[in-house]
Amino acid sequence: MTQWSGYFGLILQGALVTIELTLMGSVLALIMAFLAGLGRLSRFFALRALATAYIEFFRGTSIFVQLFFAYFVLPLLGLELTPLQAGVLALGLNVGAYAAEVVRGAVQSIGREQHEACIALNLGRWQGMRHVILPQAFLVMLPTFGNNAIELLKATSVVSLISLADLTFQAQVVRAQTGNTMVPFTTILLIYFILALLISWGVRSLERRMARGLDGVRV
Amino acid sequence: MSASAPIIKVDSISKSFGSFKVLDGLSMQVMPREKLALIGPSGSGKTTILRILMTLERIDGGHIQIDGEQLYHMERNGQLLPADERHLARMRQKTGMVFQLFNLFPHKSVIDNVTLAPMLTKGTPRAAAEKRAMELLEMVGMADKAKAMPAQLSGGQKQRVAIARALALQPKIMLFDEVTSALDPELVEEVLNVLWRLCAETDMTMLLVTHEMGFAHDFADRVLFFDRGRIVEEGKPDEIFRNPKQERTQGFLKKIIAAGHRV
């Protein structure tokens, strides 16, 4: 038993790395999603083209290859990254590309009449976006952002391939040292699942809080 | 009043949506403080002219002057150039608009709906903006709902808030686009009462697109009858409603009366 508790300690350390990666990756993904999502709606062709190129490229190539590129190829170009930095970069850029389309779709789902009210009240384009359109669009984005965050959580397991000691990596270590396959992998399966549940729950409660008052029932 | 210059001068403007010509060489003038009712069948261009004055639609040709300045053109070194966003923003300060479907911001409380634009566009401090907003909400009879969310209000209440919101920017010209058309019949009165108060207590120029013929008759100084992108007939309410000269005006009014509207 004492032996197993040591191995569980390893797996918990891995869980912390996975959580760290998920949080940092999500922040980068969120930033990229808004930059590229709003970029696609820009009046300026260059911004639209740039945003579209980013989205299509990162959606269209494998996250494995992106990660390997960040970790193994960028150093050749003079950019040395730690495994954690490479992981956050690849995960954030990859998931950000998907989430950018969520931002664009949500902004476009806000009715024309809201834009017209902004013009009639003489709000500038950015003022209207910031104070009227985005707050309403954000509520539309939230459920899909929840999906994206769970996708990102699950994708973190690829970083074990560049020797970052996340959940999956630690499970491999435990398996190698104990010869037991069932215990470590069942354990991390459960931990991934619980983390995903936490994300779902967090996003849902945020959604409830933000929707308060909008339907005239809950205040 | 007759001695002053028109506050709105529309000079042979045209506007098409695809191949459909909504406005066809339309010209009109509005004097300061005048109350105008725009009536006519749907698709006749009456709403479009309001939307053009609010810069929600662009014109294909012609000129518009508001308060002595070109709306869609700017004079630079004696040349008329198409207006840029800054020019439009400055011109929009003169005009406010109330929509058929209220267009309130659903994520903001009643008072925040009213204070948002003054705080953002004029830099009014929150305290001053809220004080002014409460005065306006008082005037439209909505002060007790200042903290409510739009979704908790009836249509008539929403529309009164929308009117207060437009007034908060102190426009010289107010455009009302079928502001009672989306309301249940028993809620129409409360909105019309607010318009009466505005008429009595302010000296704004008001343009009203409406199907409430009785109200148009009592409220307006002048009635314009629109059909197929043109003003077919205009005059004092009594002339238009009691004694229309044009056949199309007569036909339209007959249909409206048959539909049960009071004139």
Chain B CA closest to residue A118:
B117
Whether B136 shows a pLDDT value over 80: the answer reads yes
A48 or A4: which carries more pLDDT confidence?
A48
Summarised one tens digit per residue, pLDDT across range A159-186 is 999 989 999 999 999 999 999 999 999 9
Chain B CA closest to residue A135:
B107
CB pairs under 8 A between A and B: 72
User: Quick one: pLDDT at residue B3?
Assistant: 58
Query: Is residue A218 situated within a structural domain?
Result: no
Whether A148 shows a pLDDT value over 70: the answer reads yes
Query: How sure is the predictor about B260, in pLDDT bands with cuts at 50, 70 and 90?
Result: low
> B128 CB near a chain A CB, below 8 Å?
no
User: Quick one: pLDDT at residue A157?
Assistant: 94
User: Quick one: pLDDT at residue B219?
Assistant: 92
User: Quick one: pLDDT at residue B258?
Assistant: 79
User: Quick one: pLDDT at residue B11?
Assistant: 94
Contact between chains at B92 and A120 (C-beta distance less than 8 A): yes
Mean pLDDT, rounded, for A90-112: 96
Whether B84 shows a pLDDT value over 60: the answer reads yes
Pairing mode of beta strands B205-209, B35-39: parallel
Task: Choose the mutation target among A122, A133, A140, A212 for the interface with B, i.e. most B CBs under 10 Å.
Answer: A122
Domain ranges of chain B: 102-170
Contact between chains at A214 and B56 (C-beta distance less than 8 A): no
User: Quick one: pLDDT at residue A163?
Assistant: 86
Summarised one tens digit per residue, pLDDT across range B221-251 is 999 999 999 999 999 999 999 989 999 999 9
The two tokens of residue B200 are 């009595």
B150 vs A contacts (CB less than 8 Å)? 216
Domain count, chain A: 1
Residue A173 host element (H or E) = helix A167-178
The answer to whether B100 touches B182, Cβ cutoff 8 Å, is: yes
Mean pLDDT of chain A, nearest integer: 93
Summarised one tens digit per residue, pLDDT across range B5-22 is 999 999 999 999 999 999
Chain B CA closest to residue A117:
B103
Residues 6 or more apart whose CB falls under 8 angstroms from that of B167 comprise: B96, B136, B174, B198
pTM reported for the whole predicted model? 0.89
> B222 CB near a chain A CB, below 8 Å?
no
Query: How sure is the predictor about B76, in pLDDT bands with cuts at 50, 70 and 90?
Result: confident
Query: How sure is the predictor about B263, in pLDDT bands with cuts at 50, 70 and 90?
Result: low
Select from A120, A125, A131 the Cβ nearest to the Cβ of B54.
Answer: A120
Q: What is d(CA B9, CA A219) in angstroms, rounded to the nearest whole number?
A: 47
Taking a contact as any Cβ pair under 8 Å apart, which residues of chain A between 134 and 163 contact chain B? 135-136, 139
Whether B1 shows a pLDDT value over 60: the answer reads no
Mean pLDDT, rounded, for B102-113: 96
Label residue B113 exposed, middle or buried (CB < 10 Å: 0-12, 13-18, 19+).
Answer: buried
User: Quick one: pLDDT at residue A103?
Assistant: 97
> A180 CB near a chain B CB, below 8 Å?
no
Summarised one tens digit per residue, pLDDT across range B171-204 is 999 999 999 999 998 899 999 999 999 998 889 9
Label residue B63 exposed, middle or buried (CB < 10 Å: 0-12, 13-18, 19+).
Answer: middle
User: Quick one: pLDDT at residue B127?
Assistant: 96
The answer to whether A155 touches A22, Cβ cutoff 8 Å, is: no
Pairing mode of beta strands B173-177, B95-98: parallel
Query: How sure is the predictor about A219, in pLDDT bands with cuts at 50, 70 and 90?
Result: very low
Backbone phi, psi, residue B65, to 5°:
-115, 135
Query: How sure is the predictor about A3, in pLDDT bands with cuts at 50, 70 and 90?
Result: confident
> B58 CB near a chain A CB, below 8 Å?
no
The answer to whether A70 touches A81, Cβ cutoff 8 Å, is: yes
Contact between chains at A213 and B151 (C-beta distance less than 8 A): yes
Nearest CA to CA, how far is B83 from chain A (Å)?
A: 15
| Residue linked to tokens 């020019």 | B87
User: Quick one: pLDDT at residue B77?
Assistant: 83
Mean pLDDT of chain B, nearest integer: 92
The answer to whether A133 touches A124, Cβ cutoff 8 Å, is: no
Percent helix, strand, coil in chain B, to 5, is 40, 25, 35
| Residue linked to tokens 């806000």 | A110
B149 vs A contacts (CB less than 8 Å)? 213-214, 216, 219
Nearest CA to CA, how far is B164 from chain A (Å)?
A: 12
Pairing mode of beta strands B20-30, B95-98: unpaired
B4-31: b (≥16 Cβ within 10 Å) or e: eebbbbbeebebeeeeebbbeebebebb
> A211 CB near a chain B CB, below 8 Å?
no
A4 or B17: which carries more pLDDT confidence?
B17
Whether A2 shows a pLDDT value over 80: the answer reads no
- Out of B3-7, B84-88, B212-216, pick the least confident: B3-7
Q: What are the helix (H) ranges across A41-180?
A: 45-60, 63-68, 83-109, 112-120, 125-128, 134-155, 167-178
CATH of the domain at A196: 1.10.3720.10
Could you tell me which residues are beta bridge partners of residue B28?
B10
Contact between chains at B55 and A119 (C-beta distance less than 8 A): yes
Q: Give the residue numbers spanning the domain of A41.
A: 2-211
> A120 CB near a chain B CB, below 8 Å?
yes
Q: What are the helix (H) ranges across B42-172?
A: 46-53, 85-92, 110-121, 126-139, 155-167
> B229's torsion region: left (phi>0), alpha (psi -120 to 50) or beta?
left
Whether B110 shows a pLDDT value over 60: the answer reads yes
Summarised one tens digit per residue, pLDDT across range A12-21 is 999 999 999 9
> B120 CB near a chain A CB, below 8 Å?
yes
Handedness of CA A145, A149, A151, A152 (dihedral sign): positive
Q: What is d(CA A57, CA A62) in angstroms, rounded to the nearest whole number?
A: 10
Eight-state DSSP code of residue B40: -
Pairing mode of beta strands B173-177, B205-209: parallel
The two tokens of residue A39 are 């970029």
> B105's torsion region: left (phi>0), alpha (psi -120 to 50) or beta?
beta
